[in-house]
Chain A
Amino acid sequence: NAGVTQTPKFRVLKTGQSMTLLCAQDMNHEYMYWYRQDPGMGLRLIHYSVGEGTTAKGEVPDGYNVSRLKKQNFLLGLESAAPSQTSVYFCASSSGQGWEQYFGPGTRLTVT
């Protein structure tokens, strides 16, 4: 099992550009999450999904959109990137039966 994978690993964007981050899990998990991690701060929840076709806002959703068209994939989109979105983005999944979340390796995004 690959677990949780994320693509790309690194990306540099100019202000105003758009991009999509892809998260995939092969554990048949129902719940998936997108976090951002900034220096000196814990992980902050952007959006999450409790099943295929569902999405919901987390703590810091502004400037991001998500889609969960397939159970194994959770996409995070930035329509118009801003320097404040420079961060490391982590995807996680959970079976929904317990609380443990499994994390991907992260995507380092820089917006100039």
Chain B
Amino acid sequence: GESVGLHLPTLSVQEGDNSIINCAYSNSASDYFIWYKQESGKGPQFIIDIRSNMDKRQGQRVTVLLNKTVKHLSLQIAATQPGDSAVYFCAVSTPGSARQLTFGSGTQLTVLP
């Protein structure tokens, strides 16, 4: 099976600072990783993904880093804004499944003024 854990359940950052949210996974055969953002009262929303053949992928203000050696990935948010306040989940592909994802428990990011 697969288990996914996050290092911190909560994270507070000052507006304008960079945020780093971490995630660890257990199955070395997992080859696809997604970060989702969930605002209060809403469903998870796709932010960025990365395949196992990559170490880094950048989007708009977000970067995902993947370290397959230690089975760890992180989401970096540059110049954090109040609208970034949300719960962030990593999701990891379940090998051999019907495109199933295993989700971490989430990190609540709070942006302080």
Contact = CB atoms under 8 A, between A and B. Distances in A.
Interface of A: 4, 31, 33, 40-45, 48, 50, 56, 58, 90, 92, 94, 96, 98-106
Contact of A103 (B4, B45, B99, B104): B45
Contacts of B42: 105-106
9 contacts: A4-B43, A42-B104, A42-B106, A48-B98, A56-B98, A92-B43, A102-B46, A103-B43, A105-B43
Contacts of B102: 42
A64 B44 CA distance: 22
A100 B43 contact: no
What 3 pairs between A and B have smallest CB-CB spacing? A103-B43, A42-B103, A43-B103
Contact of A42 (B46, B49, B89): B89
Interface string B14-29: 0000000000000000
B34 A106 contact: no
Nearest to A108: B41
B58 interface: no
Interface residues of B, number: 24
Interface centre among B32, B45, B98, B106, by most chain A C-beta atoms within 10 angstroms, is: B98
Contact of B32 (A40, A48, A50, A99): A99
A36 to B, nearest CB: 11
Contacts of A90: 43-44
B101 A103 contact: no
B34 A100 contact: yes
A99 B105 CA distance: 19
A104 B43 contact: yes
A101 B101 contact: yes
